Structure 1
Amino acid sequence: MSFTFVSPAEPDSNRKLAWLGVAIALYLGMLLLPTPAGLSASGQVALGLLMLVIVLWISECVSPANSAIVLTGAAVLGLMGKPLHAGGPPLSSAGALTTMLTGFSSTAVLLVAAALFLAVALKLTGLDKRMALLVMNKVGISPSRLILGAMLVGFVLALFIPSATARVGAVIPIMVGVTAALGLPVTSSLGATLMIVTASACSIFNMAIKTGAAQNLISLNFMQQSFGHAMTWGGWFITALPFTIGMCMVLYLASMVILRPQVPGKAEAEARLSEELSKLAPVTPAERRLMLVAGLLLLLWSTEGMLHPLDTTTTTQIGIALLLMPRFGVMHWSQAEKLVPWGTIILFAAGISLGTLMATTGAAAWLAQVTLGQMGLSALPVFVVVGTLSLFSIVLHLGFASATGLASTLIPIMIAFAQTLPVSKETAFGIVLIQSFVVSFGFILPTNAPQNMLCYGTGAFSIAQFAKVGVIVTIAGLAMIVLLSATLWPMMGVL
């Protein structure tokens, strides 16, 4: 007779199972409650789904892709037999499933997928590492120059890589190498500074570049559906530019003053960094072709609506098609598909589906009215409204690890609320646009963003160090949003 010994479940597995149970219980509890006045039965299901995914995303009890599958399954079971619109026919299971698959047909999902393929191309060719090393080699080794170099690397990579995790993953080894080249441990003041700046600058450049983060695209997708017009790559960049510059200055000063990085042995460090650069192979033909395509994409993105009629999604698709072509391309599909984070794409599409469902059923408008609508903001100046909504978003972000999840949850509610304000359609669009910037405010806790956790995983800094810098950056960022909303952004036609 043989025996099979089953090891007891790990505490982490028990915790995840418990949180999954909590999420499902909250969803079922919402469905069993009497339907509130002014809310449809399908809208009540949408709110239950919102509670479900908030718990899933905050607790991370299942992977992002699994949370999308749980969301879709729960939605089908909840929506069956209920009309999507007042007076409409009850949904069948097929109709409910079709409703929850609408996000997969969005052009924003296609753009995210294509941009992730571009990130894979950079990784496969090694061009991302080459760019980062070249920048760090040029800026110099003093503490101030290294901080500026880390920011510059983050900005350059944000132009082409829409994944914060992918960008920071490429930069961390370089920053660790720079610290080691100076003969310092990664836990030194310099190591802590470079890691904190790398993570926080990534969040700043998420706001600066339309294609820099998936949450930007999911926000714009909702805004285009509700307001009927989109925003060009260049328009987004110009709008965010004064805010981005200000945030970079605050991050630089906060890091220098609070962390006080020290750099010994400058000459030796420069020699070690040059040695790392010399280890790189000569620029390959594939890298040259990738640089050509990347430059073409940057030109087309920045001149969208001025020199040509092609939108960002179309131009990116053209670029990826070139990179996958025989002879001219730099990768094969079989190479790329193994490195693309498909779970991110699935989560992105499911988030769009949930946001669309909340808007279609009226759940977003009802929730906006019973929460934000009770604050009496409609009688206040626009810049006060923007500041209050931004503070609301920042506090809510403390519980979220996924900015994509936060955008899926928050932006439809912000849109519904902005449409109730006594302002023009253009001003309402601008209010929501600014909130799409605030979605990327992941500065206070390492758990507020994946890139923070990657840097925290190096052991270079403590939570307290990260929070000290992050609180200052967050407060200054909120103040800048209010200031720009009262001065420059109205002059630019944003508000």
Structure 2
Amino acid sequence: MKKHRSLNVISGPLLFLVVLLVLAPIIEFKQAAAIATIFWMGLWWVLRPVNIAVTSLLPIPLNAIFGMVPMEGIISKYFSEIVVLLVGSDLISLVWEKTHLDKRLAIKSLCGLGTSMREQICVWLVASTLLSIFLPNVVVVMILLPVAVSMLRFLGQQQITDNPVATPILLAIVWGAGFGGFGSPLGSSSNLVAISYLEKLTGHEFMYVDWLIRFLPLLFIIMLLIMAYLLHLPLPVKRLDGGKEYFRAAYDKLGPMSRGEKLGLWLFILATGLAFVRPLYVQYLPLMKPAYVFFTFGMLTFMLRNETGQLLLTWREAEKGIMWGMIFLFSGGLALGQLITKTGAATQIAKVITLLPLSGGWETMFSLTLFATFLTEISSNTAAASISIPVVQSISQQLGLNPIPYILTSIVAVNCAFILPVSTRAVGVTYGLNPDDLLKNGLKLSIICMLLVSALGCICMHCWSLFNHL
């Protein structure tokens, strides 16, 4: 096992050197080094010989050695404006965890759950999807999966793995939490990566309300597709008696909302509300972007006190609780994107793909969707967005096309991963979801979803003006 791990560690730099030696005689050395960095990071993100957050730090030493772009362009990505947003929203989320507000909201949303298996599947899917619009998807599955497993065991389903009753419910949670993130900019760090590229492309700020207008209809359609797929899985029983009573009893045990819970909820509501109504006050507070709104309200968690007089959050709790790994993963993706774009590597990759017979129609949309989906299946959606979006932009521009509809479709694609037990799906496996069931069903759904996303992208591009400009 130790020898196997050592080989995985060595495989990254070896692949880097091989790619660099192959490409250096063909393209500029800095471009070759940037593409080789993609291969090294991609391989380590798949094999995981080190934590994925450690892999995300590779652009710093590699750029220091090979001098691909100015160093300040790389370092600045590790505390960019959007990282400030992640820290601020994370602080508020920590208050939700500390006060158990997250569990209260999850159980409350399930109190109306009926006894029908079909209703169970639909409600779990909708709940996980809606929660992941505003909360990190890993947080959502960590909230819902224990509740779901407890409910199933309470109802007599002691064996979770290979249980045809439990499998569709667990799939509904991990899939819903995974794809639901593209419903708002806050739902996934890959969305924030996309926004940074879109703002560079257009030269102006991309308002959060504009994101909702464009993506919520697509989210609803894809949710219906996943729901239809889950409902067509073989179900051994039609009803699970007692589900509604279980959730009502669990909610009653929580008691009334505490002052800490209320403050945590209001901090989130106010921060989110101000982020989405920014067009109303942008002329008065031009620098108060959503990142700084959330950071400001996040700082209030260190000042406000709960019902016992204790601070909502202490710095020690923040140090332990903030998802530094996610932040480094996000930052590393941005740094990798900086290497790809500033060296011209994205243009070189685009030139290769443009050798395919692409005319800008459905075949182009499907090819780019396939590219983005493949990347997000083998890595993370943040890493996939960092690699795919600049490449998609370069390809569409080289074909003389408006890049915006292709980028928007790619954003949907990098949030639609259903096959491998990584990210939110890995959490599902730890709670009893069989990886074979995930692979078998996820592969079918992924193929169907790629076709649907490509078709939706084409339809929106031709029939919806908002999908062609920002």
| TM-score computed with the length of structure 2 as normaliser | 0.90
CA distance in 1, matches of 2:347, 2:47: 27
Q: 344, 351, 368: which one pairs with 2:326?
A: 344
Structure 2 match to 1:393: 372
Structure 2 match to 1:21: 10
CA distance in 1, matches of 2:17, 2:278: 46
CA distance in 2, matches of 1:34, 1:190: 51
Deviation string, structure 1 residues 159-194 (Cα, Å, up to 9, x no partner): 432x22121111111111121121113233221111
CA distance in 2, matches of 1:477, 1:133: 30
Letter in 1 for 2:99: T
Deviation at 1:430, TM superposition (A): 2.5
Structure 2 match to 1:274: 248
Structure 1 match to 2:355: 374
Asked whether the 8 Å contact 1:222–1:356 carries over to 2, the reply is no
Asked whether the 8 Å contact 1:114–1:316 carries over to 2, the reply is yes
Q: 471, 480, 484: which one pairs with 2:443?
A: 471
The alpha-carbon distance between structure 1 residues 137 and 389, as it changes in their structure 2 partners (threshold 3 A), is same
CA distance in 2, matches of 1:452, 1:441: 12
CA distance in 2, matches of 1:410, 1:276: 44
Larger radius of gyration: 1
Structure 2 match to 1:4: none
1:165-184 correspondence runs (5 A): 165-184=138-157
The alpha-carbon distance between structure 1 residues 208 and 326, as it changes in their structure 2 partners (threshold 3 A), is closer
Asked if 1:455 corresponds to 2:395, the answer is: no
Deviation string, structure 1 residues 111-154 (Cα, Å, up to 9, x no partner): 12222222212111101100111111123232122222212322
The alpha-carbon distance between structure 1 residues 181 and 323, as it changes in their structure 2 partners (threshold 3 A), is same
**What SS class does the counterpart of residue 444 from structure 1 fall into?**
coil
The alpha-carbon distance between structure 1 residues 69 and 207, as it changes in their structure 2 partners (threshold 3 A), is closer
The alpha-carbon distance between structure 1 residues 142 and 307, as it changes in their structure 2 partners (threshold 3 A), is farther
The alpha-carbon distance between structure 1 residues 43 and 250, as it changes in their structure 2 partners (threshold 3 A), is same
CA distance in 1, matches of 2:338, 2:428: 34
Q: 396, 411, 419: which one pairs with 1:418?
A: 396
Deviation at 1:405, TM superposition (A): 1.8
CA distance in 2, matches of 1:195, 1:265: 15
Q: Please, what is the CA RMSD of the aligned residues?
A: 2.3
1:79-94 correspondence runs (5 A): 79=67, 84=69
Structure 2 match to 1:333: 315
Asked whether the 8 Å contact 1:223–1:415 carries over to 2, the reply is no
Asked if 1:480 corresponds to 2:421, the answer is: no
The alpha-carbon distance between structure 1 residues 118 and 36, as it changes in their structure 2 partners (threshold 3 A), is farther
**What SS class does the counterpart of residue 375 from structure 1 fall into?**
coil
CA distance in 1, matches of 2:102, 2:232: 30
Asked if 1:192 corresponds to 2:167, the answer is: yes
Asked whether the 8 Å contact 1:190–1:262 carries over to 2, the reply is yes
Structure 2 match to 1:232: 207
1:53-452 correspondence runs (5 A): 53-79=41-67, 84=69, 96=71, 98-161=72-135, 163-185=136-158, 186-187=160-161, 188-260=163-235, 262=237, 264=239, 266=241, 268-306=242-280, 308=282, 310-327=288-305, 330-370=312-352, 372-377=353-358, 379-381=359-361, 383-398=362-377, 400-423=378-401, 427-447=402-422, 450-452=423-425
Larger displacement relative to structure 2 (119-128 or 293-302): 293-302
CA distance in 2, matches of 1:54, 1:248: 29
Asked whether the 8 Å contact 2:128–2:173 carries over to 1, the reply is yes
The alpha-carbon distance between structure 1 residues 493 and 443, as it changes in their structure 2 partners (threshold 3 A), is same
Asked whether the 8 Å contact 1:182–1:264 carries over to 2, the reply is no
Deviation at 1:493, TM superposition (A): 2.3
Letter in 2 for 1:477: C
Count residues with an aligned counterpart: 457
Deviation string, structure 1 residues 349-406 (Cα, Å, up to 9, x no partner): 1221121121111111111112x111132x343x4422221123223444x1322222
List 4+ stretches of structure 1 deviating above 6 A. none
**What SS class does the counterpart of residue 320 from structure 2 fall into?**
coil
Asked whether the 8 Å contact 1:151–1:198 carries over to 2, the reply is yes
CA distance in 2, matches of 1:270, 1:32: 62
The alpha-carbon distance between structure 1 residues 263 and 124, as it changes in their structure 2 partners (threshold 3 A), is farther
Asked whether the 8 Å contact 2:131–2:177 carries over to 1, the reply is no
**What SS class does the counterpart of residue 61 from structure 1 fall into?**
coil
**What SS class does the counterpart of residue 419 from structure 1 fall into?**
helix
CA distance in 2, matches of 1:358, 1:216: 18
Asked whether the 8 Å contact 2:94–2:321 carries over to 1, the reply is yes
**What SS class does the counterpart of residue 294 from structure 1 fall into?**
helix
Deviation string, structure 1 residues 434-485 (Cα, Å, up to 9, x no partner): 10221112112323xx11010012223x334223432343233223323323
**What SS class does the counterpart of residue 329 from structure 2 fall into?**
helix
Structure 2 match to 1:5: none
Deviation string, structure 1 residues 289-342 (Cα, Å, up to 9, x no partner): 112122212322332324655432122122212223243762222212211121
Deviation at 1:264, TM superposition (A): 4.8
Asked whether the 8 Å contact 2:23–2:32 carries over to 1, the reply is no
Deviation string, structure 1 residues 87-111 (Cα, Å, up to 9, x no partner): xxxxxxxx54x34313124212221
Q: 25, 48, 66: which one pairs with 2:36?
A: 48
Q: Percent identity?
A: 20
**What SS class does the counterpart of residue 411 from structure 1 fall into?**
helix
Structure 2 match to 1:35: 24
